[in-house]
Amino acid sequence: MRQINFMPSFFSHCHHIIIIFFSLVPQKSFGDVDPYFQTCSVPKNCGDGQAIRFPFYIQDKQNSSCGYPRFNLSCNNNGHPTILISNNNYTIHGIFYQNKSLVVSNSAFSNPYSNCIPFINSISLPSRFELAPNQANLFLFYNCNSSVHESWPSEFYRSCYGENDTVLALSRQDPKLINNVSMECKSSVLVPVEAYGGGIAESLRNGFVLKWKASNCSICEASGGNCGFDYIMYHFKCFCPDRPHAWSCTNTSLEYLPGQFFSLEISLSQSSLGHYYETLET
């Protein structure tokens, strides 16, 4: 039977085929430190000394790749970081990276020289946050009728919107009581607080604890890298001195790396080439 050779002549004696994938992004010079590693190496702050790092980043002060999507922060006029949750600004009093938690309070309560209570909306948490356990709740009632004033005179506090306006603040967890009071007031708000102490206004200023959900940064940091996010691939990245890695600077597995190229070597022995030719002779 006549052998039909479909392989080009220059492959007939090859032992290897080298396939090289190139990226459109230019390569950095050999020996240079990866720019993302440098950019994300130094934490920033708003002025109060709180180090802001992954998964958070300060808009206009840090590259968004140094943080996680929708974990962007701003700085207020008092030098504190703030985060936008359900269209309301919350002041960040402390970030605890080890257990992924932060203490926040509605920025409307931030004035330390005022004991009045402003009107706020109930917090609606996005999926990336959840309330830490073992916290208390305050119920704020606005525009209550006179019968409620007579029943709870010591629980009313001055409103920030007029001398004659008052706000009823209850910490009791009796559902029946809360329901009855709600019927006698025009609006109500549930406010989480970490603990009571120093009065209602101070408890509201001290705020509550949130837990966040984002990619684990500990493996990357332990390997000497800086955690970040690749918005092109939309995936966590560990920025290392040489280049970005998937999870760790010590990871040696083959990875796709934007802005890099790599080679994939396929070894073909003479016997395997012969077997390939045999399959074409039918």
Q: pLDDT tens for residues 262-280?
A: 333 323 333 333 333 333 3
- Which residues lie closer than 8 Å to 213 by C-beta, 6 or more apart? 100, 127, 128, 129, 130
**pLDDT tens for each residue of 187-241:** 999 999 987 666 788 899 999 999 999 999 999 999 999 999 999 999 999 999 9
State the pLDDT at residue 31: 55
Residue with tokens 């039918």: 282
Q: Are 231 and 64 in contact (CB under 8 A)?
A: yes
| pTM of structure | 0.74
Give the C-alpha separation, 268 to 272, whole Å.
6
DSSP-derived secondary structure letter, 28:
P
DSSP-derived secondary structure letter, 249:
T
